[in-house]
Structure 1
Amino acid sequence: MPTSEPVRLGRKRALPACPNPLFLRWLTELRDEAKEKGLKTQYTYQKAINSLNKYPLPLRNAKEAKILQNFGDGICKILDEKLQRHYRENGEQQMKETSEGKKKKKKKKREYVPQRRSGGYAVLLTLYRQSQIPGSKGFMFKLELQTEAQPLCDKSFAVPDLGSKYTAWSSVSTLIQKNLLIKTHTPARYSLTEEGLALAERLAAAEQETKVCSGGDEGEEEEAEIRVEDVCYLEPTKLYSVWTLLRPLGSLRPSICMNHITALQLNMFIVCLFHVMSACCSGSHHRKQELVKELQRNGVNFDVRKLNVGDFLWVAREKVTPVPGQLRLPAGRELVLDYIIERKRMDDLCGSIIDGRFREQKFRLKRCGLRRPIYLVEECGTAASHLSLPEATLQQAIINTQVIDGFFVKRVQDVRESAAYLTVMTRFLNKLYQNRTLTCRSRELEGDVSADEEERGIPSSSLISFAEFNHGALKNKCQTVREVFARQLMQISGLSGDKAAAILEHYSTPHSLMSAYDRCTSEAEKEKLLSTIRYGKLKRNVGPALSRTVYQLYCTPGPLS
């Protein structure tokens, strides 16, 4: 009989202790208490104990335990209450050390320093240089910052490298996360934190040392960094600040600058009509399809986009050519022409007057950044007699829109005439902008490079990009105090958008208006404070009645009689 193998004796490997001893202890107490009372919840607590014993990681609170089996809302609530009580009695440090086990030693984090000529490096250095300019506003807008920082970076801030989805601008999120950069307001404003300012100052000093060691002085190095050839890194749609970029270079001749700007301009384009199906076509699905079919029949090149204001607008889209080695065509740049249409059927006009949307829409159209807003009013024929408001009221609203609010109003009979007008407008704009060189301006920066052309009746060639236009027209975006104040004023009966804008020119916030009331010496003077403010093209006075109403609204304690 063969001998059996000797039995191996040894010590069993000790099982690891539960990394959540507090939760385990409390669940055990709850189970034992339920067992003494003969409650069935003892089995529920036992199941939770079994799940907890199998879980190898520490839990910071009971909410994290919901991922385990048999941990419902009731058990988690009890454990959280016990944990809070334990925290109050023993302090945060002891609670963390007890519930999470031994506290791991924190490794000392390395200071984040962006690599030279990277996106983060260029952004920090640009903001620092801007902060050193006397009278600096202390922040920069996105488009402005991208353009100024581009010559300091080897990667593009707008176009990702081949095979990548990231640009140099992607590093801005890292700067914000590292508390070096702060982003505020809408549109976004970027400025340095105290830590970012200190780091940027060190980067600027290191940059200066690099220039000295390389044997060139500061002026020569700056010119070398911002050569005309280097500006090609700029995204072409950010042309509004090319002059800002080239302005420090005294050695560059104006002819060179102008030639370079022409090379970046959008001078090969097609004009296409943009509209949104869900909002622009009131009525049945049949009427919506009828408009589309009419546009297609007329050969109109149109696209469907989500528009945050208006129903139709025209966009100059760059003609693009295929790139060797790339499957898809590159995205063409898009600039919005200065014409936008709000389409109103008479039944929709009636509804918008009743619910207050009509005044708000006119206000938003006026401040959308496009200079030539149009109202396309579509008659309903005999259907107008069945509307909630008298036809005379609707006709008066249309006249007021044209005469008082200053909109161009085009009246048509039906969907077919609407499509015909859109077709004629598209062909007219194609001819109007033919052989013209278009550049991109930004709503974020003050000033208008085409004001002279506008005064002479020539349509502007300096246009807003579609992306910036649509983002700026968001209805529910974060609003400034000035915008909220304007909306408040426009809720007053008889106070139109022109009147609100005129009041805002004198008193941009409720605080400034209240301060002006405080400086008045009598009640009569307060009531007449706004009466002589002129508004609109005819420069009429706001008048004493509206002035008194605004004063009563903001200065009367309690409800108005």
Structure 2
Amino acid sequence: MPPKEQIVCGNPLYLEWIGEWMENARALNSKGYQTMRKAYDSMKNCPIPFQHPSQAITLKGIGPTICDRLEKKLREHCAKEGIHMPEKPGVGAGAYQADGSGEEDTAPKKRKTTRPYVPTYRSGPYALLLALHTQSLTSPLPLLKSEIILLAQPHCDSSFEAPPATNGGSKFYTAWNSMKTLVDRGLVYRNGSPGRYLLTEEGEEVAGRIAGVAEEREGGGAGKTKKVRVDKEGPMITLPEVSAPPAPVAPTAATAVPRPAAKAYSDDVVILDDDDEDIPVIVEDLTIEPAISAAPPAAAPAPLSPTGSAAATFPSFIPIILPPGSFTIHLLLDTREAKTQRDRDYMEQNLNVPGVNLILRSLEISDALWIARCKHTGREIVLGYGIERKRMDDLVGSIKDGRFHEQKFRLMKSGLRHVMYVVEESHLDDVRSYLDAIQTAISSTQVVNGFFVKRVPNLEGTVRYLARMSTMLGRIYEGKVLHVIPDNVIDARTFGDFRKHLKETQPNIDYLVSYTSFSALTSKSAALTLGDVYLRMLMTIRGISAEKAVEIATKFPTPTALMEGYEKCKTVQDQKRMIMEKCCGYGRKKIGVALSEKIWQVWMEKREQQQ
């Protein structure tokens, strides 16, 4: 039996582009992956070449949207290569017979036209989209059902909680049932139990246009009927006359984050397709200056001149400016991160996807970092986002030997503004007896240290999270100006106070540091001060966490001060209770009698015996 002849794709360029979109959707764990997968298989099995992307409409799994994307991509390709853009053929010109003969169908094929979704004015979907859009302007966090109803009810004529009193009360649905329609249409994303809701990118576009309609109608057009177009290519709709429409309800303090009123949208708010409620999206109002050359012109920021007592401590400097487009975003992954001892390349292989520029490197601190690399000089700037990865068994081991507190202490001093702990819930059966300690450690990391904790089921979840974070940061910093502190200004002994001073004097500018300076600041031994050594000495005593060590160092800044404090006590009992009585400002768990006596034993007992 002769071997089956393989079909050669007649449009390899189109196939390559669809393959890129498919891989991008897979990396983002998007629902559009299956759609692109069907389009890819259909194009791959088609041996007939197309003169224009619109002819691909005849293939199964390829609709007007993909054809439009192919046409746009082809237009960009032709402009880049300097070749002529093929003309779009007439309707039905690309149709071919089902037997694969390639003959054109004489009867024109009627194309389906999908009308954009336009909810009825003051209906359930209208109010839900408007409520979610209103919340997205102040906070990117998802909302619960009760919070959405509170915001949506003023914009809807039907109740979200009580069924309509019609047909003898036989109807049991409310306006909230419209949420299922929005989820099915891909306008709203639902996750978790109880469900939390937020707008998708498509839903954000529709809701933004609806918000413009609501502002026009409810802002100053009361008592008038007006035709408006909700979608730029959609039909005209008529808004009915409303006697006194209720004003939109502003988000409450419990569900909203304060935001300057002068800004309707922020370039920093990025909504992802999957699990974006678990990504800490930072909303900042950063002033964007024009591009600045090497020689600082008049548009460059003025040199910083600390005033008062700080003038003798903090030097003046002119920051290095990286304008938008002059740098690329890269993910630094520690070379020691591996799935198993035998499969050390798993993370590297699975992170080589579109949108992720991966670099493997031995890191001083954190398991993953994001940097901006200058295209011209190769200079690397740390963006302030770092991830520490922990398996359950690794977390328990680090709690036992004290590495967990030591790592958190170094992360707090590293200068990273956004530290995220990714906890993989694998190997859970091996540590079930330590579940209480694990939960306490996670809660302390969130509440006391202020770090963000993301729990994933396994290593695959960590890889997906890193890919989504890389995509999000690329979009955030795409149009931003980076302000970098020169290396010669940074002093490890005063860097923490220096960053705090800059934040207080210029809160609208986020100053970054180079990767070289960051490595020096986070080295375990290169930049240790007397205070750092003192804190480490205190933390070697069992029962003293980083927070308690800092509290003791606040009252007794040096070992000499601690010894002098003990010598001032009249009796040995007073010495044993001194730390407990002096360091009583610690918030959660105060230093008790037993721990205070243990500290005295370490520092003074041997000396008392010698005397």
Coarse TM-score class (shorter-chain normalised) = 0.3 to 0.5
TM-score, normalization: structure 1?
0.46
> Which protein is richer in helix relative to its size?
1
